[in-house]
Amino acid sequence: MAPASALARKPAELTFVEASTIPQAGAIATQGTERMEAGQRVLINGAGGGSGSFAIQLAKQAGAHVTGVDNAGKLDFMRTVGADEVIDYERQDFTRLPPFDHVLDLVAHRSVRAYRRALSPGGR
- pTM for the structure as a whole: 0.86
With beta carbons less than 8 A apart as the criterion, state whether 115 and 95 touch: yes
Per-residue pLDDT tens digits for 20-55: 888 888 899 999 999 999 999 999 999 999 999 999
Q: Which domains does the chain have, with CATH numbers?
A: 37-124 (3.40.50.720)
Q: Are 115 and 99 in contact (CB under 8 A)?
A: no
Give pLDDT, residue 65. Answer: 98
CA dihedral (46, 97, 112, 45) in degrees, to 10, reads -10
pLDDT score of 7? 81
- In angstroms, the CA 99 to CA 114 distance is 11
Nearest CA to 66 among 102, 113, 16? Answer: 102
The pLDDT of residue 109 is: 82
User: For position 23, what pLDDT does the model report?
Assistant: 84
pLDDT in tens, 51-86: 999 999 999 999 999 999 999 999 999 999 999 999
Alpha carbon distance 31, 23 (integer Å): 12
Task: Work out the average pLDDT over 112-118.
Answer: 85
Residue with more model confidence, 16 or 21: 16
Task: With a cut of 90, say whether residue 101 has pLDDT above it.
Answer: yes
Task: Give the amino acid at 11.
Answer: P
Q: What's residue 19's pLDDT? A: 85
Cα→Cα distances 21→14, 81, 111, Å: 11, 17, 28
Q: Residue 46 has what pLDDT?
A: 96
